[in-house]
A and B are shown apart, each in its own frame.
Chain A
Amino acid sequence: MELIATLKLVQVGDEIEVLSSDKGSANDIPEWVKKVHHEMVGITKEDGYWSIVVRKTK
């Protein structure tokens, strides 16, 4: 939800990085991004957390 709220505040083209220790977020965020037509920049598993980067497209 924090990602979604933040995306409403930033400019089109801006990238947001989410750091999450929750595997569910790593699965669900790309699905949500696809559904609402933003863009996945990348998802990386780090030591104990995931880095998920999303670009605002609209």
Chain B
Amino acid sequence: MANDPLYILLCSGEHEKIQMAAMMASVGAVSERPVEVFVSMNAVLAFTKGSAPEERYRGGTFSDLLKAKNAPDAMTLFRQGKELGDLKMWACSMALDVQGWELDRLEDDLFDGTLGLTKFLSDAENGQFITL
């Protein structure tokens, strides 16, 4: 079905993968497709509240190109997806526990809450699942 939900498991802290997750999430959401993003492992660090782009994003050749070409910031794309479509974002409760963090350490207005992997995987049984 064209409007099957899209579930994105974002683990990597690489800029390129975070950017691709943001692009897929925002495009999917504005294309009338429900999207849920589960952020865990090193990806959590990229969502640290108030980080400057140079400390938020680490990557390779395309990371440098994205910055040089002033590509839309991944955090902005996620926010636009939430504003314009049906996009939910969840922070991995285990990753926050390991860091000793609460949700308020992450960017405002992005996350709908914390979630465990088991619940996310269970929900994702009804849609398309992508891991980055």
Chain B residues positioned under 8 Å from A8 (CB to CB): 84
Chain B: number of interface residues, binned into ranges: 10 to 19
Chain B: residues with CB nearer than 8 A to chain A? 2, 26-27, 30-32, 72, 77, 80, 83-84
Please list the residues of chain A having a beta carbon within 8 angstroms of any beta carbon in chain B.
1, 4-5, 8, 28, 32, 35-36
Closest residue to B72 on the A side, CB-wise?
A: A1
* Chain A interface SS verdict (over half): helix
Complex Cα distance, B27 from A32, in Å, reads 9
Which of chain B's residues has its CB closest to A2's CB? Answer: B80
Q: List 19 A-B contacts (CB under 8 A).
A: A1-B26, A1-B30, A1-B72, A1-B80, A1-B84, A4-B30, A4-B84, A5-B80, A5-B83, A5-B84, A8-B84, A32-B27, A32-B31, A35-B2, A35-B31, A35-B32, A36-B30, A36-B31, A36-B32
Question: What A residues does B77 contact at CB under 8 A?
Answer: 1
Return the chain A residue nearest B77 by Cβ: A1
